[in-house]
């Protein structure tokens, strides 16, 4: 349908984290930016392949030189749901950057563009679970009870891994029974975007950019959405989508 841009809409990404399997080896995480490299290092530390501090921010304690401080040859499978072109390219670059620093470690980017959870279930059922995979806070208790994930807290404490690079609430979602079962891959938010033209055409007052004003209430929001909605369906005053991730944040 040829419709005008939605005046007000929700926006944001999917929330998730990297978990570490309890197999041999058993690592935990990754990401494109500096945080992604930190998480990948944390996962490899979980496998005993290198200390977490090896990729810590400047000023962090030097990696230990005793047991656990030597990188051992390994081949790891990284299962993720970022199989789309842009995400796939970004993750491949992350792997290349990491392997350039740690050539003894081969990381397979097992990206999935669809059927991610079926793939993860089949791998676990066959006894060959991935070493790194993406999951969500709702899985923590289930996976921990089934002993399918590794507690990262002892490793974080051992290597004094700096968790301040993550949003605190993002990390806390993966804590249970004094254990840390994963590290965040992202911490998405929701923004409201609106069409200035639509507000102007309908003569609806726009939201104020002055935080000290309190006239943009829920009642004002509802009234604006109603006035911006056209009965022929060509324009909606507000659209957050029908997916769970779209509306759950409002609840």
Residue of 164, 202, 201 whose CA lies nearest to 184: 164
Cα–Cα distance between 79 and 194 in angstroms, integer? 37
Q: Which CATH number fits domain 17-184: 3.40.190.10, 3.30.460.80, 3.30.360.10, 3.40.50.300?
A: 3.40.190.10
pTM of the model: 0.59
Task: Tell me how crowded residue 71 is: count the other CB atoms within 10 A of its CB.
Answer: 16
Q: Which residue intervals of the chain bear CATH 3.40.190.10?
A: 17-184
Model pLDDT, residue 185: 82
Model pLDDT, residue 153: 95
Residue of 148, 142, 136, 11 whose CA lies nearest to 81: 136
pLDDT digits (tens, 9 = 90+) for 140-176: 999 999 998 999 999 999 989 999 988 898 899 999 9
Q: Which is it for the CA torsion 74, 75, 81, 86, positive or negative?
A: positive
Task: Return the CA Rg of the chain.
Answer: 22
Structure tokens at 223: 């009234």
Residues in the chain where the model's pLDDT stays below 70: 1-71
Model pLDDT, residue 125: 92
Q: Are 209 and 25 a contacting pair, CB within 8 Å?
A: no
Model pLDDT, residue 221: 92
Q: Is 127 left (phi over 0), alpha (psi -120 to 50) or beta?
A: left
Q: Are 55 and 45 a contacting pair, CB within 8 Å?
A: no
CA quadruple 91, 96, 97, 99: dihedral, nearest 10:
120
Cα–Cα distance between 44 and 46 in angstroms, integer? 5
Half-sphere exposure of 155 (CA within 13 A, CB side): 28
């Amino acid at each position: 349908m040829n419709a005008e841009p939605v005046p007000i809409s929700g926006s944001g990404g999917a929330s998730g984290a990297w978990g570490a399997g309890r197999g041999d080896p058993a690592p935990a995480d990754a990401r494109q930016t500096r945080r992604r490299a930190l998480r990948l290092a944390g996962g490899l530390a979980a496998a005993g392949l290198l200390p977490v501090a090896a990729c810590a921010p400047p000023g962090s304690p030097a990696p230990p030189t005793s047991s656990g401080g030597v990188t051992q040859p390994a081949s790891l499978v990284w299962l993720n749901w970022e199989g789309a072109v842009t995400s796939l390219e970004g993750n491949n670059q992350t792997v290349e950057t990491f392997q350039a620093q740690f050539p003894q470690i081969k990381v397979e980017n097992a990206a999935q563009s669809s059927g991610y959870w079926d793939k993860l279930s089949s791998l676990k059922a066959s006894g060959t679970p991935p070493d790194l995979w993406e999951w969500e806070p709702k899985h923590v208790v289930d996976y921990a009870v089934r002993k399918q994930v590794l507690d990262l807290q002892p490793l974080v404490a051992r290597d004094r891994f700096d968790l301040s690079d993550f949003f605190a609430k993002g990390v806390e979602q993966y804590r249970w029974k004094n254990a840390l079962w994963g590290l965040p891959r992202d911490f998405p938010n929701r923004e409201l975007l609106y069409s200035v033209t639509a507000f102007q055409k309908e003569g609806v007052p726009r939201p104020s950019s002055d935080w000290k004003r309190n006239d943009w209430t829920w009642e004002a929001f509802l009234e604006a959405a109603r006035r911006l909605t056209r009965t022929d369906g060509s324009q909606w005053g507000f659209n957050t989508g029908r997916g769970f991730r779209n509306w759950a944040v409002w609840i």
